[in-house]
Structure 1
Amino acid sequence: MATDQPMQLKKLAHIHLGVDGGAEKFFVRLAGALARKGVDQIAFIRPDRPWRDELAKHCDVRELRFSRSHLKRHFVRWGISREIRKFGATATMGWMSPASKWLPAPGPDMRTFLRLGDWPDGFHTYGNVQDLIGNTPDIIHQAVEMGWPEARAHVISNFVDPLPADLTPVNRADFDTPEDATVLIHLGRFVRRKRFDLAVQAIAGLPTHVHAWLIGDGELMNDTRALAQSLGVSDRVHFLGWQRDPSPFLKAADILFCPTDEEPLGNIVLEGWNAGLPVVATASPGPSWLIDDGVNGLLSPCGDVGALTNSVSRILASPDLKQALVQGGTAKLADQYSEAGVVKAYDRLLSSPTAR
């Protein structure tokens, strides 16, 4: 098979300024996949990242302080460039827009890429970016509409690691959840676009055996708690905090709930399929690209809590529908979002002398 051919990419440098979230998880995941294929890597990150030790298993990690001072920024970028040249990288990839200002100038022996997992907000720091990589078509479409050259814009999606066969689900009793409850699980930052409020409102409109696990933290957590209290569902809405590894929670849940208004990809949809869960989502850009409604998930209009509640009710009423959605999600994950396919796409692009 083509995926078994030797990698063309030999040495890759990364610049990643993120903290801890879905983008960081995929960064570490991709670095590991490339390392297993024999790609030598170096990564420049901020100090004390919680995923630093995991990343260090796959590549040489350099921790730097990225100053906002224009003068200091010049010296930091110069130092990064020097280290990349010494390392011999033929490609450097920045992760998300903040990394763009630290990319070294490209040259005949080294190309530069910026990988986006969200919509761009302008190109004023993209002077050293040769090519954009977006993990959904909508990200790239928006970049092109904003003026980025279409020939230098590419779509490569994410992949997720298969769950270990011996993965032990969390104990529901540890989170005040009855063993016989139906658990909806929603993950992310407590910010407006993630619409944790819709998860709470949906619980209020569903039978009392349905509970919600809300995983994450953020500025709207207290508001969401207050909403659950006002709707009288505090005993069925459980705030589990930020979890570095949500896999045991996904394994213990029943339905993946993704009610977001603006989701470029919806990595949690992939996580839900990976955990063997039926997916209920709103038709924001990412989920509507990933999900074939009625085949591998159920879609409803953004902001429509009644439609979301109806989707959950359909699954509760039909074990056959639930099983069909699970099988459809598993099949699509294997067919289009496998590690082998995504790594091959990165290899082909990052090792090419010109944009493909």
Structure 2
Amino acid sequence: MATERPGSGNKIAHIHLGVDGGAEKFFLRLSRALAKRGVEQIAFIRKNRPWRDELAQHCEVRELKFSRSHFKRHFVRWGISREIRSFGAKVTLGWMSPASKWMPKPGPNMRTFLRLGDFPDGFHTYGNVQNLIGNTPEIIRQAVDMGWPADRAHMISNFVDPLPEDLKPVNRADYNTPDDATVLISLGRFVERKRFDLLIKALAKLPENVHAWLIGDGELMDDMKLLAGELGVQDRTHFLGWQRDPSTFLKAADILVCPADDEPLGNVVLEGWNAGLPVVATDSPGPGWLIEHEKTGLLSPCGDVDGLVRSIDAVGVSITAPPDLAQEGHKFLLAQFSETSILGKYEQLLFRGAQENRGT
């Protein structure tokens, strides 16, 4: 039987099956922040993740092959549980619903949490999950409405890393964008719900000195390029691909646009505020929760091209934005979504609750 390693302090195991996106970026941020607080960590991930080496700087990493076979799954889960016991972790945190299949069985020496950054689609694989963590109130509301116990559903949002003061923006000329252009920037997967088509249609109704930078990739990229050509804005629509760190592009842009129909949180809103940009978004669940209209950003109805155009125009296609719009967004970010604030909530939920239950 495996024995626990000697040592003191909190220990946690992560199970993360994602590839590369917003959830992965926050996973790296949170695990790095926990490490700075002295939390020892082990993570079980798929092989060949592009962020594996970055994670390994502050966390033990186990790369596994996660089988679809129901029979083999039991052996993989048993192996994970065995390594977690050997590591000495008393808490396991799974990331997104796919991780729920591999969670160890909870008990007196193991508390299990599943962190959701998207809306739940059912709990049929959640047998070993004790608690849910959602990063927006709407995720938690939907989970409870679907039958998850309210006392085991917790809302803790995300934080973003402050940008270095000496961070230099990218050179616009390198991306065929004039220095005097108004640059709209939008980030995400090229999938239907992100509605990059809405932004491209809005661009076609905006002055010719307005350009759009679209950062990301996905199945609809070719369709979006075709749409830009059909609307005659192919020279003002710049597809910049997936960027592991888009901060230098954000620093070179003028307005952050989030045109999604169905956005659980809208981490890009936080990224925009973090870069000091005014934010324009459609009123999907996440941005609608984050943004106070006409104070920290501008909201328009989902799917409304003209509404999005009016918002962008109101911010100022000649950069005459209300001077406090970006400032108020940044102030709100620091007050509610700082690393200190969010990390304190995670520590309270994951570790201190267990210590109180033990009477320590």
Give the shorter-chain TM-score range: over 0.9
Question: Alignment partner of 1:53: what SS?
Answer: helix
Q: CA deviation at 1:324?
A: 1.1
Alpha-carbon RMSD:
1.5
Superposed CA offset, 1:224-282 (max 9, x none): 11111011110100000111110110010000000000000000000000000000000
Q: CA deviation at 1:58?
A: 1.3
Aligned to 2:4: none
Determine what percentage of the aligned residue pairs are the same residue: 70
Aligned to 1:194: 194
Instruction: Rate the CA distance shift 1:286–1:48 in 2: closer, same or farther, 3 A.
Output: same
Aligned to 1:273: 273
Which consecutive unaligned segments of at least 5 residues does structure 2 have? 1-7
* Corresponding position: 1:301 with 2:301: yes
Amino acid at match of 2:58: H
Question: Alignment partner of 2:180: what SS?
Answer: coil
Aligned to 1:113: 113
Amino acid at match of 1:295: K
Aligned to 2:127: 127
Q: CA deviation at 1:9?
A: 6.7
Q: How does 1:323-334 map to 2 (within 5 A)?
A: 323-334=323-334
For normalisation by structure 1, the TM-score amounts to: 0.96
Amino acid at match of 2:341: G
Amino acid at match of 1:102: W
CA distance in 1, matches of 2:89, 2:185: 41
Aligned to 1:174: 174
CA distance in 2, matches of 1:293, 1:9: 43
Instruction: Rate the CA distance shift 1:161–1:330 in 2: closer, same or farther, 3 A.
Output: same
Q: CA deviation at 1:353?
A: 2.9
Contact 2:256 2:280 in 1 (8 A): yes
CA distance in 2, matches of 1:355, 1:25: 31
Contact 1:9 1:347 in 2 (8 A): no
Amino acid at match of 2:232: G
Q: How does 1:113-262 map to 2 (within 5 A)?
A: 113-262=113-262
Aligned to 1:4: none
CA distance in 1, matches of 2:9, 2:118: 25
For normalisation by structure 2, the TM-score amounts to: 0.95
Aligned to 1:283: 283
Q: CA deviation at 1:209?
A: 0.3
Amino acid at match of 1:44: F
* Corresponding position: 1:21 with 2:14: no
Q: CA deviation at 1:286?
A: 0.3
CA distance in 2, matches of 1:322, 1:215: 26
Amino acid at match of 1:301: P
Superposed CA offset, 1:125-178 (max 9, x none): 000000000000000000000000000000000000001111111111111100
Aligned to 2:3: none
Aligned to 1:83: 83
Report the count of equivalent residues.
349
CA distance in 1, matches of 2:355, 2:141: 20
Which consecutive unaligned segments of at least 5 residues does structure 1 have? 1-7
Aligned to 1:344: 344
Contact 1:193 1:260 in 2 (8 A): yes
CA distance in 1, matches of 2:70, 2:37: 38
Superposed CA offset, 1:39-63 (max 9, x none): 0000000011000011111110110
Contact 1:198 1:259 in 2 (8 A): yes
Q: How does 1:21-100 map to 2 (within 5 A)?
A: 21-100=21-100
* Corresponding position: 1:310 with 2:310: yes
Amino acid at match of 1:175: Y
Q: CA deviation at 1:323?
A: 2.0
Question: Alignment partner of 2:272: what SS?
Answer: helix
CA distance in 2, matches of 1:243, 1:165: 20
Amino acid at match of 1:31: S
CA distance in 2, matches of 1:281, 1:230: 24
RCO higher in 1 or 2 (8 Å CA, sep ≥ 6)?
1
Aligned to 1:5: none
Superposed CA offset, 1:173-218 (max 9, x none): 1111001000000100000000000110111010100000001111
Q: CA deviation at 1:322?
A: 3.5
Contact 1:152 1:355 in 2 (8 A): no
CA distance in 1, matches of 2:270, 2:119: 19
Contact 2:182 2:317 in 1 (8 A): no
Instruction: Rate the CA distance shift 1:243–1:319 in 2: closer, same or farther, 3 A.
Output: closer
Instruction: Rate the CA distance shift 1:110–1:339 in 2: closer, same or farther, 3 A.
Output: same
Question: Alignment partner of 2:316: what SS?
Answer: helix
CA distance in 2, matches of 1:260, 1:355: 42
Aligned to 2:5: none
CA distance in 1, matches of 2:217, 2:354: 42
Q: CA deviation at 1:72?
A: 1.1
Q: CA deviation at 1:319?
A: 5.4
CA distance in 1, matches of 2:110, 2:217: 39
